[in-house]
Amino acid sequence: DIQMTQSPSAMSASVGDRVTITCRASQDISTYFAWFQQKPGKVPKRLIYGASRLQSGVPSRFTGSGSGTEFTLTISSLQPEDFATYYCLQHRNYPYTFGQGTKLEI
Amino acid sequence: EVQLVESGGGLVKPGGSLRLSCAASGFSFSHYDLSWVRQAPGKGLEWVSAISSSGYSYYAGSVEGRFTISRDNAKNSVFLQMNSLRAEDTAVYYCARELGPDWGQGTLVTVSS
């Protein structure tokens, strides 16, 4: 199975900060990769697909990059509504696997 | 508008069974893969199972042999039959279309004596 390792597991930041979250795959997954955001009690929301493609309706301050085994999600200027938990997902091979999550706190 | 509505969750004893349903609307159901994803209380997301548009099924190792996914294209529905349930299967179960932007609201499964 492909393991997805996210870092950090948690982080604190302030409104206006630039933030980067990293996800590493245990083997090459090309760009079969996505980022999700989840707020407490809410359904996960896909932000990025194909490693770097912005989901329609998602603000442009969210940027995804990477391919192969290393991926990053960058939020250029944190807004209050961005404080949430972020998950990466590989869908290159079954079983699909999520990262363990990164909790972004104020 | 795409809609996915899960049902069938509830309280079940360890070793028991439960069948989840996900009713879909707003898209050509038969053309899409569907997945189940779960989230235990206070934990992260875990992909559970998927069924392709052609009916092939896939499972996480943690549920292989206990869970069975199926679909009924005539009823625009996907199902998850869960047998031999364990306490660690307690979670909110989400139905998702191709793990894209379309997810249901989830149904809670609690396995407890």
Interval B61-103: pLDDT, tens: 999 999 999 999 999 999 999 999 999 999 999 999 998 999 9
- Residue A26: the pLDDT is 98
Enter the tokens of residue B90: 């307690």
How many CA atoms lie within 13 Å of A95's alpha carbon, on the beta-carbon side?
18
Among residues B24, B1, B8, the alpha carbon closest in space to that of B97 is found at B24
pLDDT above 90: residue B25: yes
Distance CA A57, CA B6 (A): 25
Residue numbers in A near B37 (CB within 8 A): 44, 98
Determine, for residues A94 and B35 on separate chains, whether the beta-carbon distance falls below 8 Å: no
> Residue A11's closest CA among A23, A24, A1, A20?
A20
Asked if A68 reaches chain B (Cβ–Cβ under 8 Å), the answer is no
Q: Where does B40-105 show beta strands of DSSP type E?
A: 45-51, 57-59, 67-72, 77-82, 91-97
CA B26 to chain centre: 19
Stated as kind and residue range, the H or E segment containing B39 is strand B34-39
Over residues B40-66, the pLDDT tens digits come to: 999 999 999 999 999 999 999 999 999
Instruction: Please state, for a pLDDT cut of 90, what percent of chain B lies above it.
Output: 98
Which helix H or strand E contains A104, and what residues bound it?
strand A102-105
What pLDDT was estimated at residue B88? Answer: 98
pLDDT < 50 positions in chain A? none
* CB-CB neighbors (< 8 A) of A34 in chain B: 99
pLDDT at site B87: 98
Which of A43, A56, A99 comes nearest B94 by C-beta?
A: A43
* Torsion-angle region of B8 (φ positive above 0: left; ψ -120 to 50: alpha; else: beta): left
Using the Cβ of A71 and the Cβ atoms of chain B, whether some distance falls under 8 Å is answered with no
Asked whether A81 and A61 are in contact (CB, 8 A), the reply is: no
| Structure confidence at residue A106 (pLDDT) | 84
- Residue B110: the pLDDT is 98
The pLDDT of residue A104 is 97
| Two structure tokens written together for B1 | 């508008």
pLDDT mean over B96-112: 96
